[in-house]
Chain A
């Protein structure tokens, strides 16, 4: 952790991430209004003392909605990514370590899946499984799997033929040790960085699904859904789009910078 905070990138990422996670944990408690309460007198307002980030088309307080939406949004992004990365990394590592025909068969199937665009793939899964936040998360995770598997596999392959892995094989080490202690620690960096980038994607795909009526349903305060709902009123109150948009961007940036710093901190060669 000390290593991460030393670089400017790591520091910025950590601060942003802390902010976002703080919102996710404490947001609902800090919200000044009930996120679903209508204030018909002050619809589509810009920032003011009473409503620091303005109000939406029903006069609901945007700050309160944003704070209430944080837990679901972040949980969705993290959950979908964690699930997708775990599944993809597992498949990729198996393919990379096993090699031969196992590798060929797994990778050809994944290549077929990769040819389908992420969003289309997600839609397909949601259509089969049914809508709702839980299924949307699962769908995003499954859509991420082929890409993550490919990245994990190439990372494992590049390490697998290094001399220190051969040395371990020549020593007569078991497969568990070779994969867990020789290959994985050296193959993890690209997987971690890719995962942190994908958190932001997951939030965006979640938003799109919400917009299409297949993910979170109104009156949920999920950030993506907030952007989607605000689209109609974009010209009358741009704040409605900008505020949740910035929140999503900051969360994405935080995860991304933190991921970069984490990769550097995990590499002993980077330390002096």
Chain B
């Protein structure tokens, strides 16, 4: 379980997260929605310490990752992350992008890692792209490779930071399909997204954030049809 308690984050004098409490049970999908600048991505990045929380705690399976004595690298292997801008390694082939961390971090044999990578590429529908370089792929294909790269570490939790926001509209579907299949398999996912259709269909809970606080945290059928907070209402009116 991921447990965030009383999380604050300042960038200089800018108070970006103002006391966030959030729990993500194993096997659930939590979508975080909200206007730009509401702190959604910062919250996500605090969960694997790409940002250091200014205050508060983040517990992953009971281990407090904000404790400076923790081995952050080991903890990060349990929390996979998919970025808005893919962040594939441009100097490596698709296959090498996927096998790098299993080999270097998990100590997996090269052959095993390659077999795993090929199986994952098949799963995301890119079996024929193993030897391609990222630049030769479309945005949607790159993002699917990035998902395969995260999957290869077999993390317990997945963080998605606006995974479809940098994609052309016609490429969004292929990435969401992969994410849906992961959700169906019971993968624990925290997804920051602007795809309300995806949130409504796949999420177990939808969290609405605005101005650094969580205003509502409800199952999608309730949040989307009967939002309580006026700010949730006006946000949903604008995006739906």
Do A and B interact? no
